[in-house]
Amino acid sequence: MRRKIGLCILVFLAALRLAPAEAAEKVTVGIVGGFNAFVWPVSIALAHQLYAEHDVQPEIIFMPSSPGMLQQLAAGSIDVAASAGLVDPVRLVARKAGVAIARVSLRVSPYVLIAKPQFASIADLKGKNVAIGSRNDMTFVLIANMLAAFKLKPDDVDMLFSGSTVSRYAALKTGAYDATLLAPPLSFIALGEGFKNLGIAGDYNKDLPFTGSIINRAWAADHPDAAKNFFAAEDAATDWFYEDVHRDAAIKILIDASKSNPEDAARSYDFLHKGAYFDRTHKLSRRGVAALVAALHELGDQDVSVTAEQAVIPGLTAVSD
């Protein structure tokens, strides 16, 4: 009898050892276009299994545009929108669309104003054509503030619109634009081809957060642990990025994830690392939200009124000054 009981206990313990661990909770994550330098922490968290360590399993869905991604988020088709421009999310928060800002990704804009070789300063662009994304998006506010530093108004240049940094780069090469805003690594490629750097947008818009991870409020309410764990993993990935000893490993992760060439990946790392573009506070600042609201007013959304406290989910995202 004792032998049978002992055998049963051994079988039970063996079954416990062989039983699969509790499945990680799935999180549906939208990313615009594909893996790139702007979502570097996501690639790091995937490469180092930080999501798995925090008991979440991201299901990545690539989206053609940020507005479309945010529309899917508000509808509940995805749970998190990664590295979305922050103007539209603030609009959605103001309209009570059921989304919240979970993290700031890029604390300021890394866009570079790239011009034809003959232009030495932003002041030289008066009367020339300058291409941005849209009259209604963040790039208009960015260029307006850059022009203002040289006592120019948006009407002092011939403003052209093209929503893709890739298409703007292509048009710049053909001579169609005198200057345009480009993001890394295209900004580095253009500089290597002889174009001029007239300034980094973030240097003229220091209080204006650029991108962030946006979350569906209903999903977060139903899955509070998964929401916290997901962003804990990304926080860890962002902190890992800034460790100097990880430079080569971080560059390889971007090369593998985005199929970047090694030189562009290295330049992107040095640029984003040196400028501390990825936010490490893991908080949403009142000053940043106030700057976003002011930007929306400049874009014509005079009725938008949002505070940092209204834009976050308590317990998931802290607010700072």
The pLDDT of residue 18 is 39
| Burial profile 208-233: b = 16 or more Cβ within 10 angstroms, e = fewer | bbbbbbbbbbebbeebeebbbbbbbb
In a 13 Å sphere around the CA of 88, the CA atoms on its Cβ side amount to: 21
Band of pLDDT at residue 11, cut at 50, 70 and 90: very low
In a domain, 43, yes or no: yes
Cβ atoms within 10 A of the Cβ of 117, count? Answer: 9
Residue 296 contacts residue 91 (beta carbons within 8 Å): yes
The pLDDT of residue 12 is 38
In a domain, 41, yes or no: yes
pLDDT digits (tens, 9 = 90+) for 75-118: 999 999 998 999 999 999 999 999 999 999 999 999 999 999 99
Average pLDDT, the chain: 91
pLDDT digits (tens, 9 = 90+) for 290-311: 999 999 999 899 999 999 999 9
Q: If you write DSSP's letter for every residue of 140-169 in order, what string do you get?
A: HHHHHHHHHTTT--GGGSEEEE-S-HHHHH
Asked if residue 119 and residue 104 are part of one domain, the reply reads: no
Final residue in a domain of this structure, among 179, 204, 229: 204
For residue 178, count CB atoms less than 10 angstroms from its CB and return exposed for 0-12, middle for 13-18, buried for 19 or more. buried
Cβ atoms within 10 A of the Cβ of 28, count? Answer: 17
Final residue in a domain of this structure, among 186, 204, 222: 204
The pLDDT of residue 3 is 46
Residue 153's CATH number: 3.40.190.10
The pLDDT of residue 81 is 97
In a domain, 19, yes or no: no
Asked if residue 224 and residue 156 are part of one domain, the reply reads: no
Asked if residue 95 and residue 224 are part of one domain, the reply reads: yes
Number of domains in the chain: 2
pLDDT digits (tens, 9 = 90+) for 182-214: 998 889 989 999 999 999 999 999 999 999 999
Asked if residue 232 and residue 316 are part of one domain, the reply reads: yes
In a domain, 17, yes or no: no
pLDDT at 172 over 70: yes
Q: For the residues 46-66, what does the mean pLDDT come to?
A: 95
The pLDDT of residue 22 is 59
The pLDDT of residue 27 is 97
User: What range does the domain containing 158 cover?
Assistant: 112-204
